[in-house]
Amino acid sequence: MPEPCSVLFLMEDLCFGGTQRQTIELARRLDRERFTPSMLMLTGPTDLDAVAAGAGIGLEYLGTGRAVARLFFLRLGSAMKREAPDILVPCTALPNIWGPIWGRVLGIPAIVGTCRGGGSLSRQHEWLLWRLCDHHICNSPALVEGLRKLGEPAGRISYIPNGVDTERFRPGPEPPSERPPLILCVGRLAQDKGHLTLLRAFAIVARQVPEARLRLVGDGPQEAQIRMLAGTFGLEDRVEFVPGSPDVREHYASARIFALASVREGQPNVILEAMSCGLPVCATAVGGIPGLVENGVTGLLSPAGYAEALAASLLRLLGDPPLGDALGRAGRARVERDFSFAAMVAAHEELFDRLHRSRRGEREDMDA
């Protein structure tokens, strides 16, 4: 029986975040008879390392703290040489730049770039470095189309949507309509997530629904600015700030509505989790979100940066609880049908297998 294919996931960090959580879930579920997963981080240990280690994933670090290690790009080559993977999978911006460069220098057999963010692809690595990758994985059709427009051949791109554990993320014992009017947002407190727009929308909601509350779960660079704006609106007692954690199910079980006001997105895991928990979703129509949230069926969509439109969606659901329950049920059914972890892992395994067999065959032909 051949040796398992070694797969190295190159990560910037293992902080609380959608890409980090999805990558850990993928690595932990890969068939260990066929694949040996490991992770190399540009930082030291952060938030989710114990989860990864507990899943039997090998971990190595270039740094010691939460910041990216100084001169990491010089040290990265020796670390990747030690790992000597059959397949390299860089995740997030810095790994997607430096991973393919070092991968080609070191002769790593297969490099699989990942395209998950919602920013303009022309401002990211793909338009310069896509030729260094053997294949690209995108988690939304919009990103697939973006790469194709930049010249990436269709045969070198795979659309693999994010997955969610539908057994772990289940609807609570009572429907959302029977809960207090709590609006929940889970995500890094960073510019791309649009928290300032969400807060402005909530200020409109708060004037009309005095009992409404907003809970923001996450950490990030915009926290001080968001807190300041909440104070400016006089909402300090109605906006909760909760640090990120590995398990956010209790928050989904407490909320009546899930809201996300992103200005850029790929395919947000938190929306899939909220839908899996039976929550109606109010979100912005950016990136891969319209591929998850069908307007008027599983949630309500509004334009990015338009606080008044987002507020109107929130007020509509707060004023019509049965509608929220119906959207939540439809969202749960959609996730069960289209976004299981089993399907996500199987698609990755098929791609990794194909690339590994192809590269192994090329090496055997050269040795013959």
pTM summary value: 0.78
Q: Over the stretch 198-238, which tens digit does the pLDDT of each residue have?
A: 999 999 999 999 999 999 999 999 999 999 999 999 999 99
What length does the chain have?
368
Q: Tell me the pLDDT band of 287, cut-offs 50, 70 and 90.
A: confident
The mean pLDDT value for 2-9 works out to 94
> What are the pLDDT digits (tens) for 258-272?
999 999 887 899 999
Mean pLDDT of 294-308: 97
Cα Rg of the chain (Å, integer): 21
Q: Tell me how far the alpha carbon of residue 313 is from its chain's centroid.
A: 24
Q: Which of 58-67, 128-137, 172-181, 227-236 has the lowest mean pLDDT?
A: 128-137
Please give the single-letter amino acid code of residue 183: I
**DSSP E strand stretches across the chain:** 5-11, 35-41, 58-61, 87-90, 110-115, 135-138, 157-159, 182-186, 213-217, 239-242, 257-260, 281-284, 299-302
- Name residues whose C-beta falls within 8 Å of residue 233's C-beta, 6 or more positions apart in sequence: 199, 200, 203, 206
Mention every residue, 6+ apart, whose C-beta is less than 8 A from residue 26.
Answer: 344, 345, 348
Question: Beta-carbon neighbour count of residue 234 at 10 Å?
Answer: 10
Q: With contact defined as beta carbons under 8 Å apart, do 97 and 124 qualify?
A: no
| pLDDT per position as a tens digit, 91-122 | 988 999 999 999 999 999 999 999 876 555 65
Residues 346-364, mean pLDDT to the nearest whole number: 86
Task: Note whether 5-163+340-367 and 176-338 share their fold.
Answer: yes
Mean pLDDT over the full length of the chain: 92
If one compares 152 and 106, the residue with the highest pLDDT of the two is 106
- Residue 332 · residue 276 · CB < 8 Å: yes
Helix H or strand E segment including 334 = helix 321-338
CATH class of the structural domain 5-163+340-367 = alpha beta
Q: Which CATH superfamily is domain 176-338 in?
A: Glycogen Phosphorylase B; (3.40.50.2000)
Question: By the 8 A CB rule, do 299 and 288 touch?
Answer: no
**Percentage of the chain modeled with pLDDT above 90:** 78
Burial state string for 188-208 with b = 16 or more CB within 10 A and e = fewer than 16: bbbebbbbbbbbbbbbbbbee
Domain coordinates in residue numbering, the chain? 5-163+340-367, 176-338
